[in-house]
Amino acid sequence: MKISDRDVLLVIDVQNDFCTRGALAVPGGEKVVPAINRIAQKFTNVVLTQDWHPPDHVSFAPNHPGRQPFQTIELDYGTQVLWPAHCVQGTAGAEFHRDLELTRASLVVRKGFRRAIDSYSALFENDKSTPTGLLGYLRERELKNVFVAGLALDFCVRFSAEDARKAGFEVAVIEDACRGIDLDGSIAATHQSFRQLGISVVSLEAFL
Ligand code: VGL
Ligand code: ZN
C-alpha cells in the first residue's frame, strides 16, 4: 500500500493503563507498540489520542458506590460501562507507553476530560454531539483517508473509526495493530459494525 499526504494514521490510547499491569489492561495491549512504530514511519500525518480523565469521572466504578467495574449505568446520553479508574490526568497510567515512537505525531487529542461525559471516539464524546476538535483538524488539513490503530479495538478504536466513516472519510482499521477488551461479545459486534459501515479491516503486512 502506497501512503499519501492525504492519509493519516490515528493512534488510539496507547497508554500504560491499557497495557499489562495497567488499571484497565487490554490483553496484550503493549503488543501494538512495535507494530504501530513500524507503520508510523510510513505516514507523513500521525495523530495520537490520549484518554485523559479527572479523578471524579463519571465512567469510574469507584465513583458509584455499590457498583462494580464492567457493570453498566444509564446516563442522560445513554448506557455507560463503568470502568476501573484509569488514565487519570497527570498520572503514570495516563502516559503513553514508553516505547511508543511519538516523534512523528503532529497532534495529540486528549479526550474524556469532562467529568460528566465519557469519550470513546476521537471525534465526538459519548453524547455523540460534543466535538473533540479532531474533525475540524482533519478537514482543515484536507486529510481524506483515516487509518486507525491502538486500544481498545472494541471501544475507542471502534467508535473513532465509526465516527470518521460517518463524517465521510475512507476508514481502514489495522487489525494486528489493535487489541480488544471483549465485553459481552463486543469484538464480534465491532466487526459487524465495520462491515455495515464500509470500514475496511487491513493487516500490518499491507504497509511493510
Ligand atoms: C477505552 C474504556 C474506557 C479505550 C477508554 O481506550 O478503548 N476504553 N476508556
Ligand atoms: Zn477511559
pLDDT band at 208 (very low <50, low <70, confident <90, very high): confident
pLDDT in tens, 158-175: 999 999 999 999 999 999
Reply yes or no on whether the pLDDT at 67 is more than 90: yes
> Which ligand 1 atom sits nearest the alpha carbon of residue 155?
7
Of 7, 19, 87, 111, the active-site residue reads 111
Strands in 7-12's sheet, in edge-to-edge order, are 105-111, 46-51, 7-12, 145-151, 170-179, 200-202
Q: How far is the CA of 171 from the centre of ligand 2 (A)?
A: 23
pLDDT in tens, 83-108: 999 999 999 999 999 999 999 999 99
Is 13 an annotated catalytic residue? yes
- Which is nearest to 12 in space by CA: 43, 50, 40? 50
* Distances, alpha carbon 96 to alpha carbons 17, 103, 151, 159, in Å: 9, 12, 12, 20
pLDDT > 90: percent of the chain:
98
Which residue owns the Cα nearest ligand 1 atom 1? 156
Angstrom distance (rounded) from CA 60 to CA 121: 17
Q: What is the pLDDT of residue 9?
A: 98
Tell me which residues have their CB closer than 6 angstroms to ligand 1.
13, 18, 51, 83, 120, 151-152, 155-156
Residue 96 · residue 36 · CB < 8 Å: no
pLDDT in tens, 11-45: 999 999 999 999 999 999 999 999 999 999 999 99
Q: What is the pLDDT of residue 170?
A: 98
- The overall average pLDDT reported for the chain is 97
pLDDT band at 64 (very low <50, low <70, confident <90, very high): very high
pLDDT in tens, 115-132: 999 999 999 999 999 999
Of 13, 17, 51, 118, the active-site residue reads 13
Indicate yes or no: pTM above 0.90.
Answer: yes
Q: ipTM for the complex?
A: 0.98
Q: How far is the CA of 87 from the centre of ligand 2 (A)?
A: 6
Q: What is the pLDDT of residue 75?
A: 98
Q: How far is the CA of 80 from the centre of ligand 2 (A)?
A: 11
Q: How far is the CA of 143 from the centre of ligand 2 (A)?
A: 26
